[in-house]
Amino acid sequence: MDHMEPDHAGSIRLLRQQYPDVQIIGNARTFGMLQGYHDITTGLYEVKEGDTLSIGRRELSFYMAPMVHWPEVMVTYDATDKILFSADAFGTFGTLDGGIIDEEMNVDHFWDEMIRYYSNIVGKYGNPVQKALQKISSLEIKTICSTHGPVWRENIEKTISIYDRLSRYEGEQGVVVIYGSMYGHTEQMAEAIASSLAANGIKNIVLHNVSKTHASVILKDVFKYKGIIVGSPTYSNQLYPEVESVLNKIETREVKNRLYGYFGSFTWAGAAVKHLAAFGERMKWDVVAEPVEQKQGLIINTYEECLALGETMANKLKNL
């Protein structure tokens, strides 16, 4: 039992009912969850960090990987066929539409889905992922069996490198513009900033209207790109609710090392920019420029400030 999350281990009680003498191998934290979820307390074989177990022609070894992404997680290595059973690590969203092993399919669409999976499921736990990667770095791995997505054989090096980069919060050159808009004015600001980014040499630009884009996709791009610009209208002296919801998700994942810009609009009392400033301070991100704030409709002066914000962000990114 490498991972006790019910989408993987939910049928373990049925297995024990059908095969009452089966031994369940796990660590001490696994067994606490086995009791809590399934009231199983007998027939258990405990393993610790680095233990080995011979089962016929195979010799298994066990490496603890706590918080990747639950505390009981471990990975199992089969030294005979060089297989790493990695629990949720190296997983990806997406169905297996016929093929199971990466050699049997076109896996191009899985790479962005791997980033989306990591950012939404594992994202907060960069340091534990780095520790787990160090533990398996000395193993000769010919196959990775993750519990989500394809079995990896041809793409092992790329798969591990993606998890390594994401767990170090290393963003690519590009900018995510996240915004909410009630009457279209904040959206006009976002589009002006995006056009300036493009005019100043940034090719990877993604605009996300929080009322239309699923939060999991926004989080994926936050992990993928180095620059983040957020805009919000003032809503009852707070942030636009969908903007606030996305920012809470980003903050929960403790995303590090980002360049940050922000902007906002209001009709009679401005507060969004103040809240966006506080968010940036909590994240300890590098603020690239003064924020842009617009009262009511977009005017030429504010439009030019939006262009300047985009230009400053572009220059910062290109100079990294």
Average pLDDT of the residues in 123-138: 95
Alpha-helical segments (H) within 137-271: 156-167, 185-199, 215-224, 241-252
pLDDT of residue 197 exceeding 90: yes
Bridge partners, residue 75, by sequence? 63
Nearest to residue 263, comparing CAs of 234, 283, 293? 293
**Which backbone phi and psi does 298 adopt, to 5 degrees?**
-70, 130
pLDDT of residue 269 exceeding 90: no
164 pLDDT band (50/70/90 cuts)? Answer: very high
Contacts of 69 (CB under 8 A, 6+ apart): 88, 121, 122, 124, 125
What are the tokens at 280?
Answer: 């940036």
Contacts of 100 (CB under 8 A, 6+ apart): 150, 151
Looking at per-residue pLDDT, the higher value among 218 and 320 belongs to 218
Residue that the structure tokens 């195979």 belong to: 58
pLDDT of residue 126 exceeding 90: yes
Q: How many CA atoms lie within 13 A of 181 on its CB side?
A: 22
Could you read off the pLDDT of 78-106 as tens digits, one per residue?
999 999 999 999 999 999 999 999 999 99
Query: From CA 260, how far away is CA 242, in angstroms rounded?
Result: 19
Contacts of 225 (CB under 8 A, 6+ apart): 171, 172, 173, 174, 175, 176, 204, 206
What are the tokens at 178?
Answer: 């996240």
pLDDT of residue 277 exceeding 90: yes
The conformational region for residue 58 under phi > 0 = left, psi -120 to 50 = alpha, else beta, is beta
Could you read off the pLDDT of 212-263 as tens digits, one per residue?
999 999 999 999 999 999 999 999 999 999 999 999 999 999 999 999 999 9
Query: From CA 12, how far away is CA 1, in angstroms rounded?
Result: 9
44 pLDDT band (50/70/90 cuts)? Answer: very high
131 pLDDT band (50/70/90 cuts)? Answer: very high
Could you read off the pLDDT of 279-291 as tens digits, one per residue?
999 999 999 999 9
Q: What whole-number percentage of the chain has pLDDT above 70? A: 100
Q: Cα–Cα distances in Å, from 282 out to 99, 135, 180, 274?
A: 44, 32, 21, 13
Q: Is the pTM of this model over 0.85?
A: yes
33 pLDDT band (50/70/90 cuts)? Answer: very high
CA 258 to chain centre: 14
Residue 270 is predicted with a pLDDT of 84
Residue 320 is predicted with a pLDDT of 85
